[in-house]
Amino acid sequence: MSDSQTRPEILRIAIAQGNPTVGDVTGNLAKAREAWAEARTQGADLLLLTELFISGYPPEDLVLKPSFLKACLAAVEQLAADTASGGPGIIVGFPRQGEKGRHNSVAVIDGGRILALRDKIDLPNYGEFDEKRVFSEGEMPGPVNFRGVRLGVPICEEIWNDLGICETLAESGAEILLVPNGSPYYRGKVDVRHQVVLRQVIETGLPIIFANQLGGQDELVFDGASFGFNNDKTLAFQMSQFEPGMTVTTWRRGDDGWRCDPGLMSQLPDQEEADYRACMLGFRDYVNKNGFKSVVLGLSGGIDSAICAALAVDALGEERVRTVMLPYRYTSEESFSDAAACAKALGCHYDIVPIFEPVDGFSAALAEMFEGTEEGVTEENLQSRTRGTILMAISNKFGSMVVTTGNKSEMSVGYATLYGDMNGGFNPIKDLYKMQVYALSKWRNNHVPPGGLGPSGEVIPHNILAKAPSAELRPNQTDQDSLPPYPVLDDILECLVEKEMSVEDILARGHDIATVHRIEHLLYLAEYKRRQSAPGVKITQKNFGRDRRYPITNRFRDR
């Protein structure tokens, strides 16, 4: 074999950010084959797929089933057989049963066989990650000789921490680091990833390719945005965020190592667009991957249901979205007109189902038991629970998933009714505070998100944005009757939830001590409600669900 064959001067690497579905081994194999065929057409030498692509990520306790692991291994072996006819090699993630346990693994495939297996060492066990529960640690890796180029293949978390894995690969002769990832979205995450990779570029002196998964999986959204850095810390290429795709990068060997020819440089969205598109993608994939044909939601004339309706139409199309106004005696004419205007602007189906008779029926049934008591929250909640029952009946009759519409501010302090407005299968704004809901609504009125199926123009009427928010469960009610102004509430909640700040530190920001103590108490008190809430898209660094696991029974208060 000549030197030119053993030491190539050019390596063309295709990076695919695909959208696998957890558990759909056959479907994920088909997507891998489709990506490989495209990479072959474009003249690539190697295709880099993402972490656990064959199983979907995160597979959680599915990897405890031996039959599932066997199916994943069989798919990788089929993929390897495909390469016997030539074309690019493949780096693909899958879970496997090894001699020392189950592993989060990567296979390097070429020429009809598996050249090497690489088992993840650094298993994340924080926030949304729980890998130590189901996987065993691998052993310290060495580079893989791929067609004369020594490739290092650290897996996701192994570039995020200072365990020396990347340095070990560099010291043992790796020339390029190719990193398959399953890195979920949160606000500002792309900048965080860039800094993580740059730190490893500086430490190792090697170029790094970061390939990231795309798509929604339960509460998580994987946003793609794959990229690479040259060893001189310059950005080699940047793929799009929230969109599937492939790019073929051309790497050339020089005196200072490998360098990428100028590649794709996608413009990344700003904060409001990114958050909106994350909610839309997570919502779309939850509905479609779980086989729902349509969705239904209560459209009250308020901001939360309006943005959820807009997200539903953008994600699924107007023909798959049914909205329902459920008026009672406290519903204002303003709410009627605002809800109708919103549905008309979005082009979705709109029904009116009054709840007078069922609410009065419940009241009559309970009249003897409640005799001598004062009306209050119980009677207000009857309205919400009646609405929830009707929406669930529509869901049962037509097979439409109910969309629940509570924002993070409300979910934090329990300003929501169990088995009422909390009914539903999924909540696209569960991790957005109220002021973020307003910001994204204003953004949507001026933009149609890429890939969005909804109309342009003002889809959330101006009056919905301008009026005081209200649950309309009693005369002249507004949210601020029971809660601090939302800018104040949201800041206190962000301090308590995302930042885990002490009450003393929150007071230093200028907040009133009684208000802070009250909000902290409500936050802890509402834990039992959140445990029974629908899943929703993760947007912040700490969402209610995977990230924040507080006890329901909890007497601690920071005094």
Instruction: Give the active site residue among 31, 51, 157, 273.
Output: 51
Of 137, 75, 134, residue with least CA distance to 107: 75
Q: Cis link prior to 244 (omega < 30° from 0)?
A: no
Phi first, then psi, for residue 433 (nearest 5°) are: -70, 165
Residue 541: how many CA atoms within 13 Å on its side-chain side? 12
**Tokens 């950005």 found at:** 235
How big is the chain, counted in residues? 559
Torsion, CA 177, CA 180, CA 186, CA 189, rounded to 10: 10
Phi first, then psi, for residue 392 (nearest 5°) are: -70, -35
166/154 Cα distance (integer angstroms): 7
Furthest CA-CA distance within the chain: 97
- Kindly report the three-state secondary structure assignment for every residue of 200-254: HHHHHCCCEEEEECEEEECCEEEEECCEEECCCCCEEEECCECCCEEEEEEEEEE
Instruction: Give the active site residue among 120, 434, 529, 538.
Output: 120
442 tagged catalytic = no
Instruction: Give the active site residue among 31, 72, 156, 289.
Output: 156
402/388 Cα distance (integer angstroms): 9
DSSP 167: H
449/66 Cα distance (integer angstroms): 42
51 tagged catalytic = yes
227/337 Cα distance (integer angstroms): 47
Active site residues: 51, 120, 156
